[in-house]
Every structure is written in structure tokens, then in C-alpha cells.
Structure 1
């Protein structure tokens, strides 16, 4: 799915308290943004700023570190 769909799924699942869908959306985002800094690639990842805002808003700290590192 596209980033917009994953973000929308995370938003809706969190607001509506659908834990399984929220976990699925986080898993998809973790595939896009590895929780490990060692896995960062030199090529820029799209939607960096949107991802950081999304991770802060919906409390997904596992991905936040890589998103913030990408901004630097």
C-alpha cells in the first residue's frame, strides 16, 4: 500500500482503537522505515517529514528514530 494509505490506516485504527489494524499499519511502516539505524540507506526515503509527524502523533517510537535521522 502507499504511504498515504498506511498513514490513514494508522490514524483510523488508533482513533477507533482497532489494535490489530494498528499493529498491521505499524508493521507496514516498519518495513518502510527500519527501527534499526544500521539499516538506513543512502538514498532518501520519501515522506520523511510526514512520517516523523505521524510517528509522534500516534506514538510509534520504533520508527521515529530513523525518521529523525533521515532529516539530518
Structure 2
């Protein structure tokens, strides 16, 4: 979706605009999106993932603290 939105926000008409080029770009965008999905999360997704991981670890009881009391 991000790549599609970026493609729609053209700054000007292209010199070699054709259906074949559009099809190629769609295929290329699909490959780029798949490669991005295979790697670590970026931006807000990474921030949310990190936040949830920290909050889950804080909610886990600490067995060492329970034996000290």
C-alpha cells in the first residue's frame, strides 16, 4: 500500500508512460514489498513491537524477587 501511494503521488508526467511499464512497476513493487516484509519491521511497526515486548517482560513475575522475601 505504501509503495502504491508513493507511485500515485507523481510530480509530473513520465516520458515513457505505457501499460507495459505500469505492469512492470506493479510487479517490481510486489517484489520490493515482499522483500521488505521478510526483513525486520520498520518505523511505527518496530516501535509498537518493541513497546509490546517490553511491556510483556515487565508483566512477567520475577522468580528471583519472590524467593528473596
TM-score, normalised to structure 1, is 0.28
When Rg is computed on C-alpha atoms for both structures, the one with the higher figure is 2
